[in-house]
Amino acid sequence: MDKKVIYSAVQPSGNLTIGNYLGAIRNWVRMQDEYDCFYAVANMHAITVKQDPAELRRRTLELVALYLACGLDPEKCALYVQSNVPQHAELCWVLNTIAYVGELSRMTQFKDKSQKHAENINMGLMDYPVLMAADILLYQAQYVPVGADQKQHVEIARDLAIRFNNRFGDTFTVPEPLILKGGAKICSLQEPTKKMSKSDENPNASIYLTDDRDTVIRKFKRAVTDSDNVVKASEDKPGITNLLNIYCAFKGCSLEEAEGEFAGMGYGDFKLAVGESVADVITPVQAEQKRLLADKTYLGEVLKSGADRAYKAARRTLSKVYRKVGFYEGN
Ligand code: TRP
């Protein structure tokens, strides 16, 4: 009778790209009817790299407004800010005692970020996957929709759940990653063999959800392709293949349909059509986001009720955990 639980979160750092939209947000919206969904803004994860405090706060609200603008319904899912639910940090501490330094220091993202932020290899950066495991396990989530880059983190959450259950008795649902297609396939417009990333230094490489129509069209015009002027997907044409994938994702059509549509058309017109397909979807979302951001009272209410719901679920799991590990529960 109970719906299965979905948990996911996004960090309020960097500008979200259309890859994030296709891979995460759009799928979250699709899942809200079928599942019991908890969606968080992972601001505690965000501070594992240096953040400007004012910007972090602003981005948090922007992200919430964006989720809502994309169609997340606060009546259906719990939308909240991670730091507003104290159990995340509390469960993280307990899980820290069963997570090994060795396994954490081997995580791909930890190694990448240590290289990138060599001046700030802090404990939080290494502990990032344990906090993420706490996020997921607190809600007894069955499925965790994430991009392929987060798969390893969900696997560690699984390992920790199993390890805890074995040591202390059945406590946590063992979560499974739901690796979303679409988002994973969206590549850089400048180096189409690389994933489109919100932290790419070249702004022409990514389409941000904040880009206006003209910027979107201009970036697609400059997208790297090849010189044979045939709009067909193939392995030796990563640029055109990527543009076709983007077009299909935004239009909801198949590759064959898109190739048929563009048969005999030059790259210039094709790129323009891809740009328009994207702008047609993201421009109305931007307008709605702007409208919501002007209504801070409403956003506050959404986050308050989301945090209340999350808190109730999280408290249930945490008290079970505290009992299992033998914490004294006086007062
Ligand atoms: N680490 C994720 C990312 O950067 C965000 C995140 C935090 C998350 N906690 C999570 C995703 C729990 C899924 C489940 O994309």
Between CA 224 and CA 212 the distance in angstroms is: 20
CA 153 to ligand 1: nearest atom: 1
Counting ligand 1 atoms within 8 A of each CB, the residue from 8, 35, 80 with the most, and so the one to mutate, is 8
* Mean pLDDT (whole number) for 246-264: 94
Q: What CATH code is assigned to 5-184+296-325?
A: 3.40.50.620
* Mean pLDDT (whole number) for 240-256: 94
**198, 221, 232, 324: which one is catalytic?**
198
81 strand-pairing partners: 41
Contacts of 35 (CB under 8 A, 6+ apart): 3, 4, 5, 6, 143
CA of 233 to the centre of ligand 1 (A): 32
Whether 195 is a known active-site residue: answer yes
CA 147 to ligand 1: nearest atom: 15
Domain definitions of the chain by residue range: 5-184+296-325, 213-290
What pLDDT, on a 0 to 100 scale, did the predictor assign at position 183? 46
CA of 110 to the centre of ligand 1 (A): 14
What pLDDT, on a 0 to 100 scale, did the predictor assign at position 15? 83
What pLDDT, on a 0 to 100 scale, did the predictor assign at position 328? 93
What pLDDT, on a 0 to 100 scale, did the predictor assign at position 182? 52
What pLDDT, on a 0 to 100 scale, did the predictor assign at position 2? 80
What is the pLDDT confidence band of residue 184, given thresholds at 50, 70 and 90?
Answer: very low
Whether 221 is a known active-site residue: answer no
What pLDDT, on a 0 to 100 scale, did the predictor assign at position 198? 81
Residue at 135: amino acid letter: D
Between 140-149, 302-311, 316-325, the lowest mean confidence (pLDDT) is in 140-149
* Mean pLDDT (whole number) for 124-149: 95
CA of 242 to the centre of ligand 1 (A): 25
What is the pLDDT confidence band of residue 271, given thresholds at 50, 70 and 90?
Answer: very high
User: Measuring from atom 6 of ligand 1, which residue has the nearest CA?
Assistant: 9
CA 149 to ligand 1: nearest atom: 15
Between CA 235 and CA 79 the distance in angstroms is: 40
The 10s digit of each residue's pLDDT in 198-239 is 888 899 999 999 999 999 999 999 999 999 899 999 999 999
Counting ligand 1 atoms within 8 A of each CB, the residue from 47, 153, 155 with the most, and so the one to mutate, is 153
Residue at 317: amino acid letter: T
**Does residue 164 have a pLDDT over 50?**
yes
What pLDDT, on a 0 to 100 scale, did the predictor assign at position 181? 64
Q: Report whether CATH 1.25.40.80 matches the domain 213-290.
A: no
Closest CA to 92 of 48, 60, 52: 48
Contacts of 90 (CB under 8 A, 6+ apart): 318
**185, 195, 237, 271: which one is catalytic?**
195
* Edge-to-edge order in the sheet of strand 78-81: 78-81, 36-41, 5-10, 143-146, 176-179
Counting ligand 1 atoms within 8 A of each CB, the residue from 7, 146, 151 with the most, and so the one to mutate, is 146
Helix axes 296-325 and 123-138, enclosed angle (nearest 10): 90
What pLDDT, on a 0 to 100 scale, did the predictor assign at position 23? 79
Between 13-17, 72-76, 164-168, 263-267, the lowest mean confidence (pLDDT) is in 13-17
What is the pLDDT confidence band of residue 1, given thresholds at 50, 70 and 90?
Answer: low
CA of 238 to the centre of ligand 1 (A): 28
In this prediction the pTM is 0.89
The 10s digit of each residue's pLDDT in 96-129 is 999 999 999 999 999 999 999 999 999 999 999 9
Cβ–Cβ < 8 Å for 82, 45:
yes
Whether 198 is a known active-site residue: answer yes
DSSP string, 67-109: HHHTT--TTTSEEEEGGGSTHHHHHHHHHHTTS-HHHHHT-HH
**Does residue 155 have a pLDDT over 50?**
yes
What pLDDT, on a 0 to 100 scale, did the predictor assign at position 331? 61
CA of 194 to the centre of ligand 1 (A): 21
Better-scored residue on pLDDT, 20 or 245: 245
What pLDDT, on a 0 to 100 scale, did the predictor assign at position 179? 84
Residues with CB under 6 A from ligand 1: 7-11, 42, 45, 132, 135-136, 144, 146, 150
CA of 131 to the centre of ligand 1 (A): 9
Between CA 7 and CA 176 the distance in angstroms is: 10
Mean pLDDT estimate for the chain: 94
